[in-house]
Structure 1
């Protein structure tokens, strides 16, 4: 799975919120500051070329829909992130956040409880 740019991720967020739609409908789901219509249209076309969107023509406009879910993208992104930055070790990732004081003892305990519930 190819990593998306920030601009592409923002566009995909709008697509996932909309489901199937056109560029205008995606623009309506985006937060300020909004990209220009033509910029979003180019981004949508790039996402289609990359395989993240599928299009069909309806009259004189194109309707787009996602080919993957947000959950599938997050899973692929996180797997690549862990592999690229933490040598495929979730333990190393957690340790990094603990060392950076971005993960507290209470939060670690909550994570352990979530793991136990999944068993």
Structure 2
């Protein structure tokens, strides 16, 4: 599957919230400023071509549903992100955020606590 553009990711966020629906329903779930209906309709068609959505006709309306869950997309995106920007090193990623002062000591401690909690399970 191709990587999603920002407008495609925004559309998928509303689609994942709804689960299945038409373009109008997806548009209503999108935050302001909402794209024009025709723009979103084009984006949805592109998402279908990329394999992120499947469609079926109900009456004279196309109804779409995701073929990938939000969780699956996050896993794939993060894996590619870590590989591409941090040479497949989560340690390098965490270090980057610490050096950029984007992560506090408290947040790092919370992460360590989560890791320790997983180890004891």
Report the TM-score when normalising by structure 2: 0.96
Q: What is residue 107 of structure 2 aligned with on the other side?
A: 107
Structure 2 segments unaligned to the other structure (5+ residues):
none
Q: What is residue 44 of structure 2 aligned with on the other side?
A: 44
Aligned-partner Cα distance in 1 for 2:93–2:84: 11
Aligned-partner Cα distance in 2 for 1:31–1:106: 31
The yes-or-no answer on 1:35 pairing with 2:35 is: yes
1:3 Cα offset (Å): 1.3
Aligned-partner Cα distance in 1 for 2:33–2:111: 35
CA RMSD of aligned residues (A): 0.7
Q: What is residue 17 of structure 1 aligned with on the other side?
A: 17
Q: Deviations over 1:23-71 (max 9, x none)?
A: 0000000011110100000000000000000000111110000001111
Count of aligned residue pairs for this structure pair: 119
Matches within 5 A, 1:74-89: 74-89=74-89
Report the TM-score when normalising by structure 1: 0.98
- Secondary structure at the residue paired with 1:108? helix
1:13 Cα offset (Å): 0.5
